[in-house]
Amino acid sequence: MKKTVGFVLAVGLILTMAGCTQDGGTGDWDWGSEPEAESAGVTLNVYNWGEYIDDTDVRVNDAFTHLTGIKVNYKNFTDNESMYALLSSGAADYDVIFPSDYMVGKMIRENMLAKINFDNVPNFQYIDESLKNPLYDPDNEYSVPYTWGTVGIFYNSKYVDEADLEDGWGLLWNEKYKDKIYMFDNPRDTFGIALKKLGYSMNSENPDEWQAAYEELVKQKPLVQAYVMDQVYDKMINEEGWIAPYYSGDGVIMMDEEEGNTDIQYFVPEEGTNLFVDAMCIPAAAEHKDEAEAYINFLCRTEVAKANAEYIGYSTPHTEARKLLDPSIGENPNFYPPQSLLDKTEVFITLPDEINELQDSLWIRLKQ
């Protein structure tokens, strides 16, 4: 799914760049026919997740350089914490970064991000209103959503009774499926599920609620075959296990007709879940802020946002790009849940230090 951008799109973008006549939403590029002199030849340093931008059919970074004259030095990170550690140490200078929601909030509080001049990002108008002004950036001064998704449960319909889905998150505690259940191998997602199962906020700051979640996970542990991350793909596809919570965008590979297992299905429990957002931000120390804003605006163009959505597999926050997606994706409630379910979601925010310490200590005890 990640590499299925069509020939028509590729040709269309090339022709668009040649004429410079389309904008981000419906068809008119905001740049003139030539880049501004002071921008041409600038090298923009971009730090993003791996496999998180189309670099096959459309080649987004090359397209940006072709159109603007701005070169892109593109590097990858593997997790928010390593990205944060690198930037906070001053060991590297980047102009555009892609942190997740809670990390955006942390970096704002630590004055590590620059405010975005949205006059330079007119395509922000195409970002879904429901994803603007989030808890981690309440005045929407520092971030632009890039992708989003939900956490739900993947299950093998060949072995799992559909009636058991009515238990929601409780399915992960069903003794009928002992040794066929997987859980996240990270504390925030795992405790978030347990907290939500108990009716608490995934962002709880109550130590007693965290203790209750820990006890719930202790009860579950004998049923769990393994705590996994990306290993879940092969394990579920090969039917070593039948039930696993995972991210909607990443997990879709498990259901792929060619490379996955068509018996695997996905649902989001009615109790609600985590809605995660990866955002585009500009570090406070960025040397090329204007060019960074131009790059963010470019990624918010309809054709570019569509290409990235098809390549990455995550939900796009771009309302016009979504309309152009194949209906099997753009109208799929697994990728774009109904508002009634979205109303029950929570975005992770940075927890107080004492709660993070409690989470870490409980996680160590659970994994022993």
* Residue 51 in this model has a pLDDT that exceeds 80: yes
The pLDDT assigned to 334 comes to 86
* Residue 10 in this model has a pLDDT that exceeds 60: no
* Residue 100 in this model has a pLDDT that exceeds 50: yes
- Asked if 165 and 155 touch (Cβ cutoff 8 Å), the reply is yes
The pLDDT assigned to 131 comes to 96
* Residue 323 in this model has a pLDDT that exceeds 70: yes
Spell out the domains of the chain, with CATH numbers in brackets: 7-142+278-336 (3.40.190.10), 149-274+345-367 (3.40.190.10)
Residues 144-191 have pLDDT tens digits of: 999 999 999 999 999 999 999 999 999 999 999 999 999 999 999 999
Integer Cα distance of 151 and 153 in angstroms = 7
**Helical (H) or strand (E) element with 65:** helix 60-68
Q: Which residue has the tokens 């774009």?
A: 336
DSSP states of 67-120 as a string? HH--EEEEEEESSHHHHHHHHHHTS---SEE--BHHHHHHHHHTT-BPPP-GGG
Q: What is the mean pLDDT of the chain?
A: 90
The pLDDT assigned to 36 comes to 53
* Residue 5 in this model has a pLDDT that exceeds 60: no
- How distant, in Å, are the alpha carbons of 54, 141, 152, 174, 238 from that of 229? 23, 33, 14, 21, 16
The pLDDT assigned to 56 comes to 84
Q: In 200-219, which positions are buried (b, 16+ CB within 10 angstroms) versus exposed (e)?
A: bebbbeeeebbebbbebbee
- Asked if 30 and 294 touch (Cβ cutoff 8 Å), the reply is no
Weakest mean pLDDT among 20-24, 65-69, 125-129: 20-24
Give strand pairing partners of 43. 71
The pLDDT assigned to 31 comes to 40
End-to-end CA distance of the chain: 38
Give the predicted TM-score (pTM) of the model.
0.83
Instruction: Categorize the per-residue pLDDT at 8 as very low, low, confident or very high, splitting at 50, 70 and 90.
Output: very low
